[in-house]
Amino acid sequence: MGLLRHVTSRSLQVISVLLKNTGLTSSDLHFRTVCFPSSSYPSPQTSTMTEKVRASKSGLGYEIEKKMENNYDKEEAAGTPEAIRVWINAIVEGIHETAASSHQADLHKWLKDGICLCKLINKLLESDGKGKISYQKKVANSFVGMANIQAYNDGCEKYGLPKESLFQSVDLWEGRKGPFLNVINGLHSLGCLANTKGKMPKYTGQLAPKADME
């Protein structure tokens, strides 16, 4: 009963992903009455971000985002964002500008429009003997940028990355520190998959131990 009677299937999917990344359990939901309307979580193709997403959170939403921010700090301390920066720089060297810093704001600016990510996945697909994805090389608005991010996700699936390892376009486009954890986790998973396929240079990142994320 409680919260689960009021949320849509889209909301349940979002909550499930957030719980997985924060260490909270489903039992936590029974002690709160916060609802997440599906309009608060636009699809990757949606170009207009609602005010509900940008508004300050409270209750469960605030607790989840703060937990994700703390987990991002742990990944940063473990060197995961830096390993991702070094790896992507090496893969796209000569075809895309490099990122000089692994600071979250710098990574967001570097990856936001999806162009670097699309070049990355195309290099991986090419080395795997698979066709490349199409993307827009000039991003004039959020619709084009988020479409590029979705194209990257499609390419990741083509490469063999499980759907649960993907991130939503809004996680990257908006650049909030908490949801950006999903971007880091997704890129880490992609790097690990590339390692199993023998792609060089090798990805060297290691996520913080699970016990440290709870």
Each residue of 53-64: pLDDT tens digit? 444 556 888 889
The rounded distance, in Å, linking the Cα atoms of 160 and 145 is: 23
Lowest mean pLDDT segment, chosen from 99-103, 113-117, 125-129, 208-212 = 208-212
Q: Residue 3, Cβ neighbours under 10 Å: how many?
A: 19
Looking at per-residue confidence, does 142 or 53 come out higher?
142
The answer to whether the beta carbons of residues 169 and 53 sit under 8 Å apart is no
What is the domain class of 75-208 according to CATH? Answer: mainly alpha
The rounded distance, in Å, linking the Cα atoms of 153 and 161 is: 9
Q: What does the mean pLDDT of the chain come to? A: 79
Decide if pLDDT at 214 tops 90: no
**How many Å separate Cα 71 from the centre of its chain?**
14
What is the model's pLDDT at position 10?
43
Decide if pLDDT at 43 tops 80: no
Where in the chain is CATH 1.10.418.10? 75-208
pLDDT tens for 19-28 read: 455 554 443 4
Classify residue 113 as exposed, middle or buried by CB count within 10 Å of its CB (0-12, 13-18, 19+).
Answer: buried
Looking at per-residue confidence, does 101 or 7 come out higher?
101
Residue 35 banded pLDDT, cuts 50, 70, 90: very low
Q: Quick one: tokens of 82?
A: 């830096």
What is the model's pLDDT at position 9?
43
The rounded distance, in Å, linking the Cα atoms of 56 and 127 is: 44
Give the torsion through C-alpha atoms of 186, 88, 156, 175, to 10 deg. Answer: 50
